[in-house]
A and B are shown apart, each in its own frame.
Chain A
Amino acid sequence: MSSPNPTTHAVNVRPYLVIFATLLALTIITVAVASLKLGESTTVLVAISIATTKAALVAMFFMHLKGEKPMIFWPLGLTAVLFASLFAFVLWTEGDHLFGTRFMDAFGTSPTASSPGREH
């Protein structure tokens, strides 16, 4: 069935195998770093950075996004903005838990400095 066909072309698979090896190495690194128990913020930063790198490699090479037409990137750019805003809103509402600080209240005083109502 694989007779000469004008619609076929040779594909160099070597880059895909290099990406495969890189993805496996990054998987081992992320597990190793997590097992070191370096502290929550460091672990989160390393794990998310490695995951983003792996996802970018898959998207660029396996999903053929590298060298793709601009029409693909417009909707993806919009999606990225909307996706980021989902997390921006979480940060907005939960920032005090994340950073150990409280936002200033409506009267311009910091609620952590003293409990309102007790100083009268």
Chain B
Amino acid sequence: MSTDALPYTTTIRPDTGLTNPKLGIWLFLASEVMLFGSLFSAYALLRTGAPSWPDQSATLSVPLATLNTIILISSSVTMVLAWAGAASGKLSRYRLYMGMTLLGGALFLVVKAFEYGEKFSHGLYPSTNNFLALYFTLTGLHALHVIGGMIVNAYLLGPGTRMWTRDHLRFTNRVEIAGIYWHFVDVVWIFLFPVLYLL
């Protein structure tokens, strides 16, 4: 155990029954639910109140979005496998799966950028209609969350690995917390995919 300024990073805090990072990430994600919830409800309000609505599946590419769904779900699995590798003390396995998680995030963004480019080249912008305004706002905010998660994951794969030998349990907890955030980003996409592409 290192002499940290931060308390309860590895030991359970008696009054909450949790480590501080675990409670912290869930409180943060609760606020994130409301952030995305406000935009989802804006979508519901604007769509139900609109006299007509564009054919979403004809405007956007369902195959590309399906591919991105598979990529993001896969990166969620590799993230949990990276945590399992760290928890069982297998550094090479951790590095392999964390690398694959980062690759998944990067692939997702490449597909998303291609989709955006395709829309722009056809003169489809956020200002075109309410649907596209919501599409770009929701997927743009989600993409920012993917980038944020990738920065944390890249740190944990690179310089952050120094903690592996120094304080292994704390390192494993960090990977778990980063994972909980990464899975949340996956959950948001799980809802964005049908709402924006299929309905």
Real complex partners, A and B?
A: yes
Q: Which residues of A contact B (CB under 8 A)?
A: 1-2, 4-5, 7-11, 13, 16-17, 19-20, 23-24, 27, 30-31, 34, 40, 43-44, 47-48, 50-51, 54-55, 58-59, 61-64, 69-72, 75-76, 78-79, 82-83, 86-87, 89-90, 93-94, 97-98
Ordered by A's residue number, 30 sampled pairs between the chains whose C-beta atoms are within 8 Å are A1-B91, A7-B172, A8-B89, A8-B172, A11-B83, A11-B88, A13-B84, A17-B77, A27-B70, A31-B62, A31-B66, A34-B57, A34-B198, A43-B199, A44-B199, A47-B198, A58-B76, A58-B186, A58-B190, A62-B76, A62-B77, A63-B179, A69-B16, A72-B26, A79-B33, A83-B33, A83-B37, A86-B34, A86-B38, A90-B48
Q: Which residue of A lies closest to B30 (CB)?
A: A79
Interface flags for B178-191 (1: CB within 8 Å of A; 0: not) read 01100110110011
Q: Which residue of A lies closest to B74 (CB)?
A: A20
With A9-B87, A64-B176 as contacts: A50 and B194 at CB distance below 8 Å: yes
Return the contact of A30 from the options B30, B164, B194 (Cβ within 8 A). B194
List of 10 A-B pairs having minimum Cβ-Cβ separation, nearest first: A8-B89, A47-B194, A34-B198, A11-B84, A7-B169, A86-B41, A94-B48, A69-B17, A79-B30, A20-B77
CB distance from A37 to the nearest CB of B (A): 9
CB distance from B110 to the nearest CB of A (A): 19
User: Across the interface, do B87 and A11 meet the contact criterion of CB distance under 8 Å?
Assistant: yes
Q: A7-B169, A86-B34 are in contact. List 16 more A-B contacts (CB 8 A).
A: A7-B172, A13-B80, A30-B193, A30-B198, A47-B195, A51-B193, A63-B179, A63-B180, A63-B183, A72-B22, A75-B30, A82-B37, A83-B33, A90-B45, A93-B45, A94-B48
CB distance from B32 to the nearest CB of A (A): 9
Alpha-carbon separation in the docked complex, A119 to B179 (Å): 65
Chain B residues within 8 Å of A89, by CB: 41
With A16-B80, A34-B194 as contacts: A69 and B18 at CB distance below 8 Å: yes
Chain B residues within 8 Å of A16, by CB: 77, 80-81, 84
Alpha-carbon separation in the docked complex, A30 to B66 (Å): 10
Chain B residues within 8 Å of A4, by CB: 89
Alpha-carbon separation in the docked complex, A55 to B184 (Å): 9
Return the contact of B80 from the options A1, A62, A75 (Cβ within 8 A). A62
CB distance from B182 to the nearest CB of A (A): 9
CB distance from B73 to the nearest CB of A (A): 5
Chain B residues within 8 Å of A71, by CB: 16-18, 23
Q: Which residue of A lies closest to B43 (CB)?
A: A90
B:152-199 near A, CB below 8 Å: 164-165, 168-169, 172, 176, 179-180, 183-184, 186-187, 190-191, 193-195, 198-199
